[in-house]
C-alpha cells in the first residue's frame, strides 16, 4: 500500500521539505514513547504511596532522583567517549553553558512541582490535589501562548476533555482555594512550565545531558530540604527500598528520559495531554496492587481522558510549520 501523500511545506526556515499529510511515523512513535512514560509514572503512584509509609516526601525524592541520575551516568560517559555527546555546533564553551543552565532550570521546575504538590497535600484532600495538579494540561497551551507556541482548536478541546476526565477521576468536590489548594495550583504551573521548557531545550541540547542535570539538581535541592525539615533514618530507607528502587530507576531514570526523548518530536500541548494519562494508569495500578476500586464516575473520567488524547492528536493531520522542529539533532 502506498504511503500518505507528502505535503511540501516550509519548516524551520527551509522550503521544499516533504512530510506526510497525516501524522508522520516519527511523531506517532514519540506519542507512544510519552504514553509509556505515563504508564510508568502511573504505576509509580503505588510505589510512592507505599514509600511514604516510611519516609518523608523530601527524603524520598532526594533518594529516587539521585538513583535516576546515577543510572544515567554510565550511559552519558559511554556516549561522550564515542563522540556522540558533543555540545551544539555554536562552540563548545557556549554549548556547555547552555546545557548547564537548561538542565538546572529543568531540575528546579521538577523540584518546585513535586515539593509544592507534596506539601500542599498536607493541607488539602488527595482528590482536590489530584484535580488541581492536572490543570497543568490546560496551563501548557496557555503558557505556550506567552512563549510563542501555537495550538489549534483540537488541542484546546482535547485539553478541556482531559481536564474534565481528570476531575471525574480524582476530584471529590472543589470549593474555594485554601492554602493547600493554592500550593498545589502553583505546583501545576511548575509542571506546565517544565513540559514547555523541555520542548524548547531538546531543540539544542542533548537528551541525556538534560535528564542527568535535572535529576541531579532536583536530588540536591530535595536533600537540602530533607536535612532541614525531616529526619533521615537508614532503617526507614531500608524498609522503603523496593518503592525507592522503582520510583528511582523506572519513574525517574526511565520515564523522565522517555519524556525528554518523546518531546523531541511531539508538540508541548499534546505531550502534556498524553502524559496526564498517568492518572488512568495510577487507577489501574491501585486496583491491581492496592485493591482500590474504580467506580462508574472514574470510568467515565478515564473515557473522557482517552477522548481528549485522541482528539488532541488529530491536529497532526494538518501540519503547522514550527520553527526549529526537525532540527533537534541531539547527542
What is the extent of the structural domain holding 82?
31-317
pTM: 0.71
Tell me how far apart the alpha carbons of residues 141 and 192 are, in angstroms, rounded to a whole number. Answer: 9
Whether 226 is covered by a domain: the verdict is yes
Span 182-201, average pLDDT? 84
Tell me how far apart the alpha carbons of residues 95 and 119 are, in angstroms, rounded to a whole number. Answer: 36
Whether 172 is covered by a domain: the verdict is yes
Between 126 and 168, whose confidence is greater? 168
With cut-offs at 50, 70 and 90, classify the pLDDT of residue 228: very high
Other beta carbons less than 10 A from residue 277's beta carbon = 25
Q: Is the pLDDT of residue 120 over 60?
A: yes
With cut-offs at 50, 70 and 90, classify the pLDDT of residue 62: very high
Angle CA(289)–CA(291)–CA(295) in degrees, nearest 5?
125
Structural domains counted in the chain: 1
Q: Is the pLDDT of residue 65 over 80?
A: yes
Task: Lowest mean pLDDT of 8-12, 77-81, 122-126, 128-132, name the range.
Answer: 8-12
Q: Where are the alpha helices (DSSP H) in the chain?
A: 25-51, 57-81, 92-123, 126-134, 136-146, 153-170, 179-201, 207-229, 234-239, 241-245, 257-262, 268-275, 278-289, 296-313
Whether 65 is covered by a domain: the verdict is yes
Grid coordinates representing 88 are: 551544539
Span 196-202, average pLDDT? 80
CA distance to 193, 195, 269, per residue, from 142 (Å) = 10, 12, 9
Between 219 and 286, whose confidence is greater? 219
- In 3D, which of 132, 178, 170 has the Cα closest to residue 279? 170
Tell me, what's the pLDDT at 178?
66
Span 204-218, average pLDDT? 84
Tell me, what's the pLDDT at 261?
83
Do 164 and 302 touch, CB atoms closer than 8 A?
no
Do 191 and 136 touch, CB atoms closer than 8 A?
yes
Measured in degrees and rounded to the nearest 5, phi and psi for residue 215 equal -65, -45
Tell me, what's the pLDDT at 315?
59
Whether 235 is covered by a domain: the verdict is yes
With cut-offs at 50, 70 and 90, classify the pLDDT of residue 217: very high
Whether 22 is covered by a domain: the verdict is no
Please give the mean pLDDT across all residues of the chain: 74
Whether 259 is covered by a domain: the verdict is yes
Radius of gyration of the CA atoms of the chain, in A:
20
Span 260-273, average pLDDT? 79
Tell me, what's the pLDDT at 169?
73
Tell me, what's the pLDDT at 19?
38
Span 5-23, average pLDDT? 36
Tell me, what's the pLDDT at 36?
93
- Name the percent of the chain lying above pLDDT 90: 14
- In 3D, which of 187, 208, 252 has the Cα closest to residue 103? 208
Whether 144 is covered by a domain: the verdict is yes
CA distance to 72, 311, 329, per residue, from 208 (Å) = 7, 31, 13
Q: Is the pLDDT of residue 85 over 70?
A: no
Span 246-267, average pLDDT? 83
Alpha carbon 277 to its chain centroid, in Å, reads 11
Span 304-323, average pLDDT? 58
Amino acid at each position: 500500500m502506498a504511503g500518505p501523500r507528502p505535503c511540501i511545506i516550509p519548516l524551520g526556515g527551509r522550503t521544499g521539505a516533504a512530510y506526510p499529510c497525516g501524522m508522520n511515523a516519527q511523531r506517532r512513535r514519540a506519542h507512544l514513547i510519552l504514553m509509556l512514560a505515563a504508564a510508568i509514572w502511573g504505576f509509580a503512584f503505588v510505589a510512592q504511596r507505599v514509600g511514604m509509609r516510611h519516609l518523608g516526601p523530601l527524603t524520598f525524592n532526594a533518594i529516587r532522583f539521585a538513583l535516576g541520575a546515577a543510572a544515567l551516568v554510565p550511559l552519558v560517559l559511554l556516549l561522550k567517549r564515542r563522540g556522540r555527546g558533543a555540545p551544539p555546533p555554536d562552540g563548545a564553551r557556549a554549548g556547555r553553558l547552555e546545557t548547564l543552565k537548561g538542565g538546572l532550570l529543568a531540575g528546579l521546575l521538577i523540584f518546585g512541582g513535586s515539593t509544592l504538590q507534596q506539601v500542599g497535600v498536607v493541607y488539602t484532600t488527595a482528590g482536590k490535589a489530584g484535580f488541581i495538579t492536572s490543570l497543568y494540561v490546560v496551563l501548557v497551551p496557555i503558557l505556550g501562548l506567552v512563549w510563542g507556541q501555537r495550538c489549534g482548536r483540537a488541542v484546546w478541546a482535547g485539553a478541556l476533555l482531559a481536564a474534565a476526565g481528570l476531575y471525574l477521576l480524582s476530584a471529590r468536590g472543589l470549593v474555594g482555594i485554601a492554602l493547600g489548594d493554592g500550593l498545589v495550583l502553583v505546583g501545576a504551573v511548575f509542571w506546565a512550565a517544565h513540559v514547555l521548557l523541555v520542548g524548547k531545550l531538546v531543540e539544542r541540547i542533548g537528551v541525556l545531558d538534560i535528564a542527568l542535570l535535572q535529576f541531579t539538581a532536583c536530588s540536591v535541592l530535595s536533600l537540602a530540604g530533607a536535612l532541614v525539615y525531616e529526619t533521615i533514618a537508614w532503617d526507614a530507607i531500608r524498609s522503603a527500598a523496593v518503592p525507592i528502587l522503582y520510583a528511582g530507576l523506572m519513574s525517574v531514570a526511565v520515564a523522565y528520559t522517555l519524556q525528554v526523548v518523546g518531546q523531541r518530536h511531539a508538540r508541548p500541548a499534546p505531550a502534556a495531554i498524553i502524559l496526564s494519562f498517568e492518572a488512568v494508569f495510577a487507577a489501574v495500578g491501585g486496583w491491581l496492587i492496592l485493591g482500590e476500586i474504580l467506580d462508574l464516575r472514574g470510568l467515565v473520567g478515564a473515557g473522557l481522558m482517552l477522548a481528549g488524547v485522541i482528539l488532541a492528536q488529530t491536529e497532526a493531520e494538518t501540519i503547522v510549520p514550527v520553527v526549529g522542529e526537525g532540527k533537534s539533532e541531539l547527542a
